[in-house]
């Protein structure tokens, strides 16, 4: 299936689709190297288990969770988690395009938000909105323009009317700037942080797996890349692999050091 094809046409604004469509199979390819902290993996697994017991929860009159907010530094796995959830639930993922949704004309942003949520209500999917703070910022800010305050009001209404045929997932690096009323609409919250030593080692092993390298490289790389995000680690290891390929040599500690210096991660 084409990314922009679906049972119902994705709404458009500014001449472009408001989201990008990924099939479950495409989502699976995205998450080959996902490393989830134990707590977040437990939350995701429980979330998916509950969704598979829809009828049982209805019998007990216990609502099904379907709104997830993820927060933490960039490059720590929030986006990949959304893809992973879509894969596990065998649902398409709709990655909302903020450049299409946010509009300078009065009322257009709120109207676009409503359209993309109506799409998700009609077509089962994982609706994923990254950089959520761009449309969910607190209305208490003195410099907040009235247009965006209206957009937050529309967003609140959409979350209240979302139903249970789809899943809404939001991610932000600026959780303290979200409107407090928005926070209360989420039944599942996941915190992300920079990878610890165990997670770094696990991720580096996934990245290096199958690539010829010198002995003990994983341990050395793990120590060298302390303080890096998953995104930083991926870019540094990929850069090091390219150096090794150019030189027709195994991956070495020197390749990692040079790549780290060139990439210069912001720690």
* Per-residue pLDDT at 145: 61
Q: How far apart, in whole angstroms, are the C-alpha atoms of residue 105 and residue 107?
A: 6
* pTM confidence score: 0.88
pLDDT the model gives residue 15:
87
Q: What is the pLDDT of residue 141?
A: 57
pLDDT digits (tens, 9 = 90+) for 119-130: 999 999 999 999
Q: pLDDT value at position 7? A: 52
> Which residue, among 76, 69, 266, 72, has the nearest Cα to 173 in the 3D structure?
72
Q: Distances in Å between the alpha carbon of 145 and those of 107, 148, 181, 222, 231?
A: 12, 6, 18, 45, 33
Regions of the chain short of the pLDDT cut 50: 1-6, 142-143
């Amino acid at each position: 299936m084409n990314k922009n094809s679906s049972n119902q046409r994705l709404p458009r604004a500014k001449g472009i689709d408001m989201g990008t469509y990924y099939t479950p199979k495409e989502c699976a390819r995205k998450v080959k190297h996902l490393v989830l902290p134990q707590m977040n993996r437990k939350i995701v697994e429980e979330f998916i288990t509950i969704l598979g017991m829809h009828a049982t929860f209805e019998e007990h009159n216990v609502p099904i969770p379907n709104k997830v907010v993820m927060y933490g530094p960039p490059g720590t796995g929030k986006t990949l988690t959304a893809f992973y959830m879509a894969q596990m639930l065998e649902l398409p993922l709709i990655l909302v395009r903020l450049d299409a949704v946010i509009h300078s004309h009065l009322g257009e942003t709120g109207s676009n938000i409503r359209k993309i949520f109506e799409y998700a209500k009609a077509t089962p999917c994982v609706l994923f909105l990254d950089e959520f703070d761009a449309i969910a910022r607190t209305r208490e800010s003195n410099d907040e323009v009235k247009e965006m305050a209206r957009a937050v009001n529309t967003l609140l209404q959409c979350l209240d009317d979302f139903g249970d045929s789809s899943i809404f997932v939001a991610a932000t690096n600026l959780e303290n700037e979200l409107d407090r009323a928005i926070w209360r609409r989420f039944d599942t919250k996941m915190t992300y942080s920079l990878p610890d030593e165990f997670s770094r080692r696990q991720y580096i092993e996934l990245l290096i797996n199958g690539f010829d390298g010198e002995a003990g490289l994983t341990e050395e790389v793990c120590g060298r890349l302390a303080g890096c995000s998953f995104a930083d680690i991926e870019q540094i290891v990929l850069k090091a692999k390219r150096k090794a390929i150019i030189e027709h040599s195994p991956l070495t500690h020197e390749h990692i050091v040079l790549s780290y210096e060139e990439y210069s991660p912001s720690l």
